[in-house]
Amino acid sequence: MKRITFCVLFFCAISISGFSQGKEIIKVETNDLIMIFSASKNENVIFEYWGDKLNDASVFVSKGFRSQPDSNKDSSPQIFPAYGGKLYLNPALRLTYHDGVLTTELEYVGMDKKTLDENRIETVIRLKDKIYPVFVDVHFVAYQKENIICQSVTVINDGKKNVSVENVASSYIPLHAQSYYLTHFHGTWAAEMQLKEEKLTPGVKIIESKKGVRTTQSESPSFLLSLNGPAQENSGEIYAGSLAWSGNFALSFEFDERGMLNILGGMNPFASTYHLLPKQKLQTPEMVLTYSSNGKGQITRNYHDWSRKYALQHGDKIRPIILNSWEGAYFNFDEKTLTDMMDNAAKFGIEMFVLDDGWFGNKYPRNGDNAGLGDWQVNAKKLPHGINYLADYAVAKGLKFGIWIEPEMVNPESDLAKKHPEWVVKSGARDILPMRNQWLLDLSNPLVQDFVFNTFDQVVSMSHNISYIKWDANRHVDNVGSDYLSKENQTHFWYDYVKGLYSVYDRIRAKYPDIEIQLCSSGGGRLDFGALKYHDEFWASDNTSPLNRIFIQYGSNTFFPAIATAAHVSTSPNHQTGQMLPLKFRFDVAMTGRLGMELQPKDIIGDDYEFAKNAIKDYKLIRPIVQFGDLYRLISPYDENGWSSLMYVSKDKKQAAFFAFSLKYHDRTTFFENKLNGLDPTKNYKVTEINIKSGHHSFSNNEKVYNGDYLMKVGLGMNIGNPFDSSVLLIEQQ
C-alpha cells in the first residue's frame, strides 16, 4: 500500500540471497498495481505496500523494526489482524474457542500462487493460530488488465471442538498519510447513492447496514479513500473498495494514535456469531479493491471494465430499450391496456415490453400491494388469455417480452402464507411485522430456496417468449428469526439467508443462462457486486425524475457501469416528485444509461411524439459508446455552479458521446464552457449535436471539426443557461 513504506526504516544493499534467510516477499500484482507482504515462518505476515508497481521489492526483505510504546513488540501492520496479543484496534477477526479463550494469534504457514487464466492470478496466504487448530486463508484474485484485486478470507476449523466466529472481515487495508478524505454514499427510497465526502478525524467512522435485505437503500458498501486532500477526478491517490455481498455489511475507518488509517470491510458482526463445527469452514464475500494515483476517474473505469466482464451477465451485449408498464398502468390494467401499450411502444422504436406488478393472484387477486404476493398464478379476470398470449403479441409487434416477480416475499393475504407459516421470517411468538403489507420468506430454509427457484422456473415457463425478468425485493428484515434454524444457530440467519439467495441465483443461471434479469429492490436497495453478477442490469431508484436521477446515477456509476443502469423517461409532472420537466431533459438524462420508458406512451402526442421517436433513434446511434465506452466525468452535479456534464469514449477513441445539463437558472452574464477528456490529442473530431428539440440548437458550431488536443485543452461552449436545458453531442474521429 502506497503509504505504508514508513515501515522500512533503513535501506541497505542486499543480495537476493536475503530471501533465503527466513524472510519471504509475497507480491499480488496486476498490470499496473502491486500489493507487497513480507512473511517469515511462525511469525506475523506484514502488510508492506499497496500502490503503483515498484521496480524493486527486495528492499522489504530488510524491513526495519517498529515497536509499540513500552513494548518490544513489532507494531507493523499485519495482513489480517486478529484480536489477541497487543492489538488494540478493531480486529479483522475475533474468535471464541471451545474452552472460552477469546484471543487469537495468527502466524504464517505458507503461500500458494496459481494462474487461473490469461488475466487472473490467485494468491492464497495461509495463517494459523499459534495454539489452536484454526487456519485462516487470505485469498487474492488479481485481474491483470482491469487492475482490480478481489480479497476474501476462509476460516477453517481443523480441530475436534467447535469454534465461534464472532466477526470476520473480508479485507484489511492499513494506510499512512497526512490526512484522509472518505467518500461514501447514503440515501433512502427515491434518493439512493447520494455522495458525501468528509475529512476523517481521529477515532472510528463506521458505515453499516443491519437491514438484511435492501441493505444498500440507505447505505452503501462501496467507498473511496483519498490521501492528503479531497478526491479529484484526474489527479491524486485514491483507494477504493466495494463489498460483493447482499446482506448486512460494515465498513470501519479507524484513525489511530500513530496517524494510521485502518480500513476493515466485510459482513456486519451484528447478532451474527457463526458456530463452526469440526472440519467446517466459513467463506467471506469478496471485497473488490482498486487504486489510482491519477484520481477517481480511473477508479471508475477500472470498476466498469471489470464489472462488464466479471460481475455482470452478458456484459458484452447491447441492452434493449424497454417500456415498463408500472407508471403507465400500475395495478389497473387488462389485456387491452397492455396490448395498446405494446402497439404504441413498437411505433416509438422501443425493443422490449415489461409487464410489472399486478398480473397474478386469483383467490387473493393482486389489485394492490396488500394481497396475492406468493401466489404466482395468472389473474384470470385481468388476463383471461394468459401470459403466453401477451408474450406472443409482443413478439408479433417486434418486441421482446418481460415480466415482474418478487419471489422472496409473501402477503399475509395469500394462499402461500396460510399454507406455509413456517416459511416466514419471525421471532418466536412475537408479532410478524409487515412492511409494504408483506412478510419475508426464510431463504436459509432449503425448501424456501426450492420454492423461489420453482417460482422463477414456472413463471418463465409460461411462455417461450419471456426473455426478461424484473426481480424485486421490497422490504427489510426485522424481528429476525427462523423456524428452520436451530435455537443455537439463530445467529446464522444473516449469513445463511444471503447464501441461500445466491444458491437460488446459481441454479437459475445454470438453467437459464441467456435470460435477462433486472436487479431491483425498491430501486437501489440491492446494488452490490455480489448480486449484480447474476443480473444484466439494476434499477437505480424508483425515482424517475431526471433532476434527482442525475445525482443518483452519478453516485451509482462511480462503481457500476452505464450498461447496467436502467434509466427511464417518465411522465410530467413526475409521479414521485411532482416536478414538471422538459421531455428533452428527461430523455437526455436517461440516455446516459440504459434507456427505457416508464409511462403511458399514448400520452405522448404532437411535437413530443416526433421528438420521442427521434430521441430513441439517436440513442441507438450512441448506445454502443454509452454501454461499452469509458466514462469521463467532467462537471459534478455536486459542484455549486449548477451544471453537470460527462462523456463516454469508445475504447478505440474514435467516437464519444457528450452530455451537459443545466440544473438551475444561470443569469445572462454566465456561460457554459467545458474541456473534454479521453480523446486522442493527435486526431481530428467532428462534433454534431443530436437529440435536438424543435430545431433549437445549444451548440452553435454544429458539425465543425476540431483537433482532439483543442477539445481537451480549450473545450466547447454551449447555450444551456436556463433551468433544465441540456445538450447531447456525438463526437466522431475524422
* Residues classed as catalytic: 472, 542
User: In degrees rounded to 5, what are phi and psi of residue 165?
Assistant: -90, 110
What does the alpha-carbon distance between residue 1 and residue 98 come to, in Å, rounded to a whole number? 36
279 CB-contact burial (10 Å; exposed 0-12 / middle 13-18 / buried 19+): exposed
Q: Are 354 and 346 in contact (CB under 8 A)?
A: no
335-348 vs 607-628: helix crossing angle, rounded to 10:
70
Query: What's the one-letter identity of residue 94?
Result: R
Residue 338 in grid coordinates:
397492455
Closest CA to 296 of 225, 390, 222, 194: 225
What does the alpha-carbon distance between residue 333 and residue 690 come to, in Å, rounded to a whole number? 36
What does the alpha-carbon distance between residue 250 and residue 174 come to, in Å, rounded to a whole number? 17
The C-alpha angle 366, 372, 375, rounded to 5 degrees, equals 120
What does the alpha-carbon distance between residue 200 and residue 434 come to, in Å, rounded to a whole number? 38
493-511 vs 446-460: helix crossing angle, rounded to 10:
30
What does the alpha-carbon distance between residue 314 and residue 307 come to, in Å, rounded to a whole number? 10
- Report DSSP state, residue 398: T
Contacts of 75 (CB under 8 A, 6+ apart): 66, 67, 68, 86, 258
SS3 category, 373 = coil
Residue 718 in grid coordinates:
454551449
Share in percent of the chain as helix, strand, coil (round to 5)? 20, 35, 45
Residue with cell 435485505: 213
Q: How many CB atoms lie within 10 A of CB 709?
A: 14
What does the alpha-carbon distance between residue 274 and residue 588 come to, in Å, rounded to a whole number? 49
Q: How many CB atoms lie within 10 A of CB 16?
A: 8
| Pairing between β-strand 630-635 and β-strand 655-662 as defined by DSSP bridges | unpaired
SS3 category, 700 = coil
SS3 category, 455 = helix
Helix segments in 79-226, DSSP class H = none
- Report DSSP state, residue 11: -
E strands of 237-326, at which residues?
Answer: 238-243, 249-255, 260-267, 274-276, 281-283, 287-292, 322-324
Q: Are 214 and 473 in contact (CB under 8 A)?
A: yes
Closest CA to 581 of 671, 694, 662: 662
Q: Are 407 and 398 in contact (CB under 8 A)?
A: no
Bond before 573 cis per omega within 30 degrees: yes
